[in-house]
Amino acid sequence: MYRITKVLNHNAVITVDEDAKEYLIMGKGIGFGRKIAERIEADAESSVYSLQSTTERGEAEAIVKQVNPACLEIADVILKEAEKNFGKVDRKILFSLADHLQFAVDRMKKEEKIRNPMTDDIKVLFHAEYKTAEVARKVVKETFEIDITDDEVGYLALHVHSAIEDESVSQAMQIAHAVNECIAAIRKRANVNLETTSLGYNRLMNHIRYMLIRMTTGEKIKLDINDYMRVKFPETFAIAQSICDEMSVSFHKSYQEAEIGYLAMHIERVGGSEI
C-alpha cells in the first residue's frame, strides 16, 4: 500500500510506502482524480520506481520533480520495450533517461540540433538497443509533435544499453568512440575500403568492442593464433599490434598478446582475404 504525496499528472504519482520511502508509480489513469494522502495499490500494469537511487545525472528524487512528467512516461515506454526485448533491466536508468529526453525535447523545440558523431557506430555496436530506442519516435511525436532524429535515438540507445548491461552511458560512449578511432586507423594503415553495410565490417566493429571490454574485465582468450598470423600476414599483424598498443594507452588498460592475432584476422577479412 502506498500513500500519495504528489500527483504529477493523470498517469504518474509520487508516493511513500509504510517505511516512508518514496516511489514514483506510473500507470494509465493512476493519478486521475487522486488527492494528496490518498492510499493506492500498484497493480500488475503499473510501473514502480524507487526514488532512493542516484544516477549519472543526479538524484532520482530531484530529477522526477524537475522534468516534464511526459518525459518520465516516454522513458517508461522505452524501458518496457527493453524488458520485452531483453528481459530484466535496471529500472533506475529511467531517471537519467527522462532527464536526457527533457533536454532533447527542449533542444528540438528551439530547433537546436546536436549531432551525434557516433550514430552510425551505435547502430552497429548496439543494434538491438537502437531498435528498442526507436519506440520513442512515435511517442515523442504524439506527445510533443516533434520528429526525433537518428542522432537522438542513438543517445537513447546508449541509455537502453546501460539498463541491460553493467555499463554506464559514458562508458558505452567511450567504447563507441574508441571503436570509431580504431576503424579509422585500420582504414588508413591497411588501406582497405570498409563497407559499413558488410558483414565483415559488422564483425570487425563488434570484435573491437569486445576486445575493449576484455581489456577492462581481464577476460582471457583461450586460443592464441599470433604465430600463424605473424608469419602468414606480417604487415597486417604489425598494423594490429600498433592499434592494440594505441588502444591500451587510450583506455589505460593492458591487453593480452593473443588479441593481436585475432584483430589481424578480422582486418584481413575486411580486406578481402579468405581467412
- Helix (H) / strand (E) element for 80: namely helix 69-86
Tell me how far apart the alpha carbons of residues 148 and 153 are, in angstroms, rounded to a whole number. 7
The answer to whether residue 78 sits within a structural domain is: yes
Is 122 in the same domain as 59? yes
The answer to whether residue 133 sits within a structural domain is: yes
Per-residue model confidence (pLDDT) at position 54: 76
Three cell numbers written together for 94:
529511467
Is 149 in the same domain as 244? no
Of 166, 188, 204, which residue sits at a domain end?
A: 166
Three cell numbers written together for 218:
581481464
Judging by beta carbons within 10 Å of its beta carbon (0-12, 13-18, 19+), is residue 28 exposed, middle or buried? Answer: exposed
Q: Print burial letters for 54-72: b (CB count within 10 Å at least 16), e (below 16).
A: ebebeebbebbeebbbbbb
Q: What is the pTM of this model?
A: 0.84
Of 166, 196, 227, which residue sits at a domain end?
A: 166
Is 60 in the same domain as 158? yes
Per-residue model confidence (pLDDT) at position 149: 92
Is 44 in the same domain as 80? no
CATH code for the domain of 42? 2.30.24.10
Of 166, 195, 222, which residue sits at a domain end?
A: 166
pLDDT, tens digit, 9 for 90 and up, residues 44-87: 889 999 998 877 777 888 999 899 999 999 999 999 999 999 99
Q: In the chain, how many domains are there? A: 3
The answer to whether residue 65 sits within a structural domain is: yes
For the chain, the average pLDDT equals 91
The answer to whether residue 6 sits within a structural domain is: yes
Q: Provide the pLDDT confidence category of residue 8 given band limits of 50, 70 and 90.
A: very high
What is the domain extent for residue 83?
54-166
Is 28 in the same domain as 116? no
Q: Provide the pLDDT confidence category of residue 270 given band limits of 50, 70 and 90.
A: confident
Three cell numbers written together for 54:
542516484
Residue 260's alpha-carbon distances to 180, 216, 221, 247, in angstroms, are 18, 16, 11, 12
The answer to whether residue 275 sits within a structural domain is: no
Is 34 in the same domain as 9? yes
Q: Provide the pLDDT confidence category of residue 228 given band limits of 50, 70 and 90.
A: very high
Is 176 in the same domain as 198? yes
Is 61 in the same domain as 75? yes
The answer to whether residue 116 sits within a structural domain is: yes
Is 162 in the same domain as 225? no
pLDDT, tens digit, 9 for 90 and up, residues 10-33: 999 999 999 999 999 999 999 999
In sequence order, the β-bridge partners of residue 7 are 13
Is 9 in the same domain as 63? no
Per-residue model confidence (pLDDT) at position 273: 55
Tell me how far apart the alpha carbons of residues 21 and 179 are, in angstroms, rounded to a whole number. 42
Spatial CA neighbour of 181 closest among 247, 254, 266, 256: 247
The answer to whether residue 24 sits within a structural domain is: yes
pLDDT, tens digit, 9 for 90 and up, residues 171-194: 888 889 889 899 989 988 988 877
CATH code for the domain of 126? 1.10.1790.10
Residue 272 has pLDDT above 70, yes or no: no
Q: Provide the pLDDT confidence category of residue 222 given band limits of 50, 70 and 90.
A: confident
Residue 275 has pLDDT above 60, yes or no: no
Tell me how far apart the alpha carbons of residues 99 and 79 are, in angstroms, rounded to a whole number. 14
Is 230 in the same domain as 149? no
C-beta separation of 125 from 196 below 8 A: no
Q: What's the N-to-C CA distance of the chain in angstroms?
A: 62
The answer to whether residue 119 sits within a structural domain is: yes
Per-residue model confidence (pLDDT) at position 274: 47
Is 223 in the same domain as 184? yes
pLDDT, tens digit, 9 for 90 and up, residues 193-214: 777 777 878 889 999 999 998 9
Tell me how far apart the alpha carbons of residues 221 and 86 are, in angstroms, rounded to a whole number. 26
